[in-house]
A and B are shown apart, each in its own frame.
Chain A
Amino acid sequence: MPAKATRAAFGEALLELGARDDRIVSVDADLSKSTMTVSFAKKYPERAFNVGIAEQNAIGIAAGLALAGKVPFVCSFACFLAGRFETIRISVAYTNANVKLVGTHAGIAIGEDGYSQMGLEDIACLRALPNIPIVQPADEHETKQAVAYAIEHDGPLYLRLTRQNMEPVCPPDSRFRLGRWLTLNAGVDVTLVGSGGPIANCVAAAKMLAADGISAEVVNASSIKPLDEETLVASAGRTGHIVTVEDHSIAGGLGGAVAELLSEVLPTPHKRLGVQGFGESGDPKSLYAKHGLDPAGIASSVRKFLNR
C-alpha cells in the first residue's frame, strides 16, 4: 500500500460503509474538501449536510441527528472541533449522543498554515470527558478499520486524523480493537509508545537505535482512550523505560495519559516527546525536526534518556 493521509482513508471508508448503512450521515462546516467527506457528499447528497462555517451548530445538529437514530460523522479540523469543547461536553458527551467526531489536520505536521489551524490540544480537551473514546489510527489500513469500528460503537467517539500521508505500518491482517495496541517492533531496552503522525518515525528510530545496540520496542497506540493497560504495563515491566511520541501538545495528550496510568500502576521512568509551546508555520519536515519528532530526534532523545 502506498502512503496515504488518514483523512483520505476516512473519506474512502465513509463512502464505502455509507453504501451499506443508511444511518450514516455527514455534517461539515465548510471544510468538506479538507476532511474528505466530499465524495460521500457527492454520492449521497441527501445525507450530507454542510452547515457553513459554524462548528458548534454542526456539532449540535449531529447530536440531534444521533438522537433521531442516525450515525452522524461531524467533521472539521481537530482544533475547530475541540475549540467548541463546551458544546461537545454537553450536547454530545453528557447527552451521550451517538456522534462520531472527526478531527483532521492533527498536529504541527500540517506545516505552513501555522498554529491557528493545528490540532494540538484536542486530545487533552476531549480526554477529560468521561465517555468519549479517542482513536488515532496509524495508516490507511487501520483507519478504515477504525471507521468501521466507530459505526459499530454505540456512543460518542473521537477520530483524530492527519492531513499528511502516512506510511503503512500495520500488517494487512491486523485488526483494530479499541483499547488494544499493536506491537510493531519487539525490544527489551526501551518502549516507544507512538501514535499518529510520528508513528513511522518511531519505527525508523528503532532501526537507528538497533544499529547502536539499543533494542527498542515500538507500540502503536492508536487507542488513546482507553489505553491498552495490559500491553503498556507488560512492556514497561520488561524494558523499564517509556518514551511517548506524539504530534500533540506535550501537556495532556498520550504522554499525559500514559504517565497518569503508570504512575499509579507501575511507576516507570518516562520521557514525553511532543510539541512544546505553540506551533508555527514551516515545512512539516523541519517542524518535526525542531520538536524532535523525526527519526533522528526520537533516537537521540532515547539515547539521552537511557544515558547511552
Chain B
Amino acid sequence: MPDARLSSIARECRVQIIRMLTHAGSGHPGGSLSVIDLVVSIMFGRIRHDPARPNWPERDRLILSKGHAVPAMYAAMARAGYFPDERLLTLRKLGSSLQGHPDRTALPGIEAATGSLGQGLSISLGLALGFRLGDKPNRVYCILGDGEIQEGQVWEAAMAGPKLGQPAHGVGNLTVILDKNRVQLDDFVTKILDLEPVVQKWQAFGWPVIEIDGHDFDQIGKALDQAQAHTGGPTFIVAHTVKGKGVSFMENNPEWHGKAPKPAEAITAIRELLGVSTPAWDDYLAKDRATAAIVAELSALDKK
C-alpha cells in the first residue's frame, strides 16, 4: 500500500479539520486529529464505496461511534468526493448537512446518528449481522473512543460480539478500532476511570486483539488485513494514538478536547501540520497557493 499517498491525504485532512473548526467557532479538535489517520486508512485504502452513489447497497460501512470527532469524517468525505470542499465551512451552521455530530438523515455517507457515546458498537453488530444473514459481502468498521468505552452498552456489545450469529453467521465482517488517545473530556482517562488492562478485557470477552500505532499507516494497513482474514468473528484493534496529533499545543492536552482554535492559533496549527518553520512560512505560502488562500480566509475571520 502506498503509504505516502495516505499520509499526504491525512495531512490535507488535518488542515481541513483545523480550518472547518475555526470557521465553526466550536467543536472537537483533539479527537478528530487522533482519529484521522484511522479514518483515512479505512476510507482510502480499504472500504468499497462510491462517493457518487452514497446509497449503493454493496458499500462497506464506517460507523464513527465517537461522533464528536465527525470533522475527521467530513474532511475525508470531502476529499473522497462526497461533497465539495467549500461545504466544510458550513460545519455547525444553521441548515448545514454538516451537523455538529453525525446525522444520517442530513448527509448521505453518514451511516448512523452518533454523538451520544456508547451506541455505535451495538449498531455495528446489528449491521454486520444483517449482512451476514443475507450472505452479503459488506464489511463494517466501527471506531470507538477510549473514554467512550466506559459506557456500559459498549460492554454489553463486547459480550455479544464474538457470540453473535454463531455458528453460521458469526460477524467476521466486523472490525472494531479503539482510538486510544488516553484523554477524555474532563481529564486523562487514567485520572477519571482507568481502563487498564484494556487488551486483556477485550480478550477475556472473546475478541482477538491487535495492538498498533494508530498513526503508522503500515501498521494500520496490516492490522486491517489481519482483521479481514479472521473470518470466524469480529476483531478488535487497539490503536495507540495521540490526542491532538500534529499540533504541538493540542497534543496530549485535555484542554483541546472540545474547543475550536482562534484564527491565529489555527494558522500556527496549519503551519505545524505542514512541517514548515516560522521563518520559512512566508516563502512557503508564496508557493502553496491553496494553503495561502486558507490562511487568508482564517486571517479575515480574525478581523470580523
Contacts and interface: CB of A to CB of B under 8 A. Distances in A.
Interface string B48-73: 00000000000000000001000000
Given A53-B184, A114-B99, A117-B115, A30 B152 contact: no
A116 B94 contact: no
B258 to A, nearest CB: 9
Interface residues of B, number: 31
Contacts of B293: none
A287 B94 contact: yes
A171 B116 CA distance: 38
Contacts of A283: 93-94
Contacts of A111: 26
Nearest to A77: B116
A54 B152 CA distance: 6
Contact of B27 (A32, A34, A112): A112
A50 B193 contact: yes
A52 interface: yes
Given A114-B103, A281-B93, A282-B93, A30 B116 contact: no
A254 B94 CA distance: 26
Contacts of A280: 94-95, 99, 103
B96 interface: yes
A33 B185 contact: yes
A73 interface: no
A56 B192 CA distance: 16
A281 B186 contact: no
Interface residues of A, number: 31
Interface string A104-142: 000000011111110000000000000000000000000
B184 A117 contact: no
B118 interface: yes
Interface stretch (B124-132, B143-151, B245-253): B143-151
B147 A114 contact: no
A80 B152 CA distance: 13
Contact of B94 (A31, A33, A50, A290): A290
18 contacts: A30-B150, A30-B185, A38-B186, A52-B150, A52-B184, A53-B118, A54-B151, A54-B193, A111-B26, A113-B115, A114-B100, A114-B103, A280-B103, A281-B99, A282-B95, A286-B94, A287-B94, A290-B94
Given A52-B184, A53-B185, 14 more contacts: A52-B193, A53-B117, A56-B152, A57-B152, A79-B116, A111-B26, A113-B100, A114-B92, A114-B99, A115-B99, A116-B100, A117-B115, A281-B94, A282-B93
Interface of A: 28, 30-34, 38, 50-54, 56-57, 79-80, 83, 111-117, 280-283, 286-287, 290
8 A-B pairs with the lowest CB-CB distances in the bound complex, closest first: A116-B115, A282-B94, A52-B193, A52-B150, A114-B100, A112-B92, A281-B100, A116-B101
